[in-house]
Amino acid sequence: MIEPYRPEPLVNFQDPQVRDRMEQALASVRQQLGNHYPIVVGGERRTHETEIRTYNPSKLDETIGFVTKADPTDVEDAIQAAEEAFRSWSHQSAAFRARVLLKAAANMRRQKFLFSALEVYEAGKTWPEADGDVAEAIDFMEYYARQAMRLAEPVTVTNLPGEEDEAFYIPLGVGAIIPPWNFPLAICCGMTTGAIVAGNTVLLKPASVTPVIAAWFVRLLEESGLPKGVVNFVPGDGSKIGDLIVGHPRIRFISFTGSKEVGLHINELAAKPQKGQIWIKRVVAEMGGKDCIVVDETYPDLDAVAADIVTAAFGYQGQKCSACSRAIVVDAVYDKLVEKIVARTKALTVGPAADPNNAVGPVIDGPAERKILEYIEVGKKTAKLLAGGSKTSDAGHFIAPTVFGDVAEDAVLAQEEIFGPVLAIIRARDFEHAMSIANGTEFGLTGSLFSGCRNRLEYARRDLHVGNLYLNRKCTGAVVGAHPFGGFNMSGTDSKTGSPDYLLLFTQMKSVAERY
Ligand code: NDP
């Protein structure tokens, strides 16, 4: 018997011993910077001259690693290797596959600080954000291992007289896993292990800014006993290698998390049958958000609200799909709350993620920095700048946490996903107006309401149209098993990661009837 699933506890960096361990891990990972990482196809390691170089967004001249780019031959071979591995892996018992995940979770727990340190360097996560990502990766493996075993239990069907009737779930085949960079371990790990524990085999194409973290994860799976060919590691440019994989006739499903634009493109490309293709590809696409925290005049503690808004807006520099990018505040408390939000924002220290005194690190790369600064310029012309509004240093991609007030509900700042440290505060006449603003974008990922009024909380429960609704708490920080995660509308296909339904996305039900 395995113990029931419990979320991995977060580490306490206030404890001096814990801080020491993190410092040691940072020093140890520093020794490994500049390493080269190969493609992995059917367990075979391959290197080419063409590599992705990743660097530290806190320190632009610091190389993190070099990762070989897969070419079309590698993709073809990876699909072949995955097909071969599928023949045995799909017939392993669910318990066998689950145990590989449980072992990998245990191994990752042992190396927690090292993975966190790597995230600090390659993804620019502050210590607590890095720890949260590693904990979530462990959670996904622990949770999906148990769900796979549950899914293998007999399905209840009606037995007709003289017949034996049964139904069971079988895996789909060879899939593509295409994760984003912002949860470079948790999402990469959750998407990969959810698919494989259900019996599929995959090609994993990591995000091009964080492939070293993905390479470490693939190595960990191998060290944990994952058979060769179940996960094939094929890094490369999304627009080249990604399209090649998604459009391939022998790819059965695509599990994607990333931007709306790329998600819609993948959905379209996957929908077009290719020569020799004998199935409709299944696309799981989790995409962007324009998430909100709504505050009415009945909530008693505006300090607590301000603290939650600032954490949700600027945690990991606002680069979370669930980040609070809109605070929608009713007029009666607007001025008071905005003052508190601005004061807290101005108190945030910005700087290298490796320094635990910094609450806010860098944004991920040059293109992201430019795009965010462009949005800030748009904001300066259309709203009231209340905090931040510029870069803080050129040593890294550092942008000051930025707050705009009196943003119009239909303004660019209130409608488009910026994916950076920019908060738009919108003034609502009253609660009804606030709810209509909250629902007034094309997205529907996360949202919060702070209210002391039972009727309003119930109204939001029913009518605030988001996949993840939070009442009287912030809109970030979903926990595997507690908060099934996925969005409505243009936020995606609502895959509900970390839920009992997730593995169903990577299976199909087979019904068998035998007449005696
Ligand atoms: P992108 O859409 O830019 O990239 C996501 C992945 O898709 C990357 O691996 C990328 O590769 C790949 N890709 C890019 N183009 C193609 C293509 N033509 N075919 C196949 N694959 C392709 O997103 P980001 O990585 O920038 O991530 C940020 C986005 O992710 C935000 O919009 C955020 O809201 C969303 N997100 C959503 C979540 C959710 O659960 N709803 C969770 C986390 C993030 P490459 O890196 O090589 O370009």
Q: From the candidates 321, 324, 369, 409, which is the catalytic residue? A: 321
pLDDT value at position 264? 98
Helices vs strands, H then E, count in the chain: 15, 21
Answer whether 154's CB lies under 8 Å from 168's CB.
yes
The DSSP code for 158 is P
Please indicate, yes or no, whether the overall pTM of this predicted structure exceeds 0.95. Answer: yes
As a residue count, the chain comes to: 516
Assess whether 321 carries a catalytic annotation: yes
- Measured by CA distance, the residue closest to atom 39 of ligand 1 is 286
pLDDT value at position 331? 98
Nearest atom (ligand 1) to Cα of 288: 34
- Chunked into runs of 10 residues, the chain (516 residues) has average pLDDT values of 96 98 98 98 98 98 98 98 98 98 98 98 98 98 98 96 98 98 98 98 98 98 98 96 97 98 98 97 98 98 98 98 98 98 98 98 98 98 98 97 98 98 98 98 98 98 98 98 98 97 98 97
Burial of 238-268, coded b for 16+ CB within 10 Å and e otherwise, reads beebbebbbbbebbbbbbbbbebebbebbbe
Residue 255 near ligand 1, beta carbon < 6 Å = no
Residue 494 near ligand 1, beta carbon < 6 Å = no
The Cα 257–Cα 101 span in angstroms is: 21
Task: Please report the beta strands in 206-297, taking only residues with DSSP state E, as ranges in sequence order.
Answer: 231-233, 253-257, 282-286, 291-295
The Cα 78–Cα 245 span in angstroms is: 10
Answer whether 515's CB lies under 8 Å from 162's CB.
yes
- Measured by CA distance, the residue closest to atom 48 of ligand 1 is 238
Answer whether 293's CB lies under 8 Å from 447's CB.
yes
The Cα 304–Cα 286 span in angstroms is: 30
pLDDT value at position 514? 98
Residue 208 near ligand 1, beta carbon < 6 Å = yes
Q: From the candidates 122, 286, 297, 417, which is the catalytic residue? A: 286
Four-point Cα dihedral 273, 278, 284, 285, nearest 10: -10
Nearest atom (ligand 1) to Cα of 286: 41
Residue 230 near ligand 1, beta carbon < 6 Å = no
The DSSP code for 364 is S
Answer whether 376's CB lies under 8 Å from 409's CB.
no
The Cα 488–Cα 327 span in angstroms is: 20
The Cα 184–Cα 361 span in angstroms is: 16
Q: Measured in angstroms, how far is the CA atom of residue 308 from the centroid of ligand 1? A: 27
Residue 20 near ligand 1, beta carbon < 6 Å = no
Residue 458 near ligand 1, beta carbon < 6 Å = no
Residue 114 near ligand 1, beta carbon < 6 Å = no
Q: What is the layout of strands, in order, in the sheet containing 324-330? A: 384-387, 402-405, 422-428, 324-330, 291-295, 446-450, 468-471
Nearest to residue 361, comparing CAs of 122, 101, 41?
122
Q: Measured in angstroms, how far is the CA atom of residue 288 from the centroid of ligand 1? A: 9
Per 3-state DSSP, what percentage of the chain is helix, strand, and coil (rounded to 5)?
40, 20, 35
- Tokens for 224, please give them: 């944990």
Q: Measured in angstroms, how far is the CA atom of residue 180 from the centroid of ligand 1? A: 4
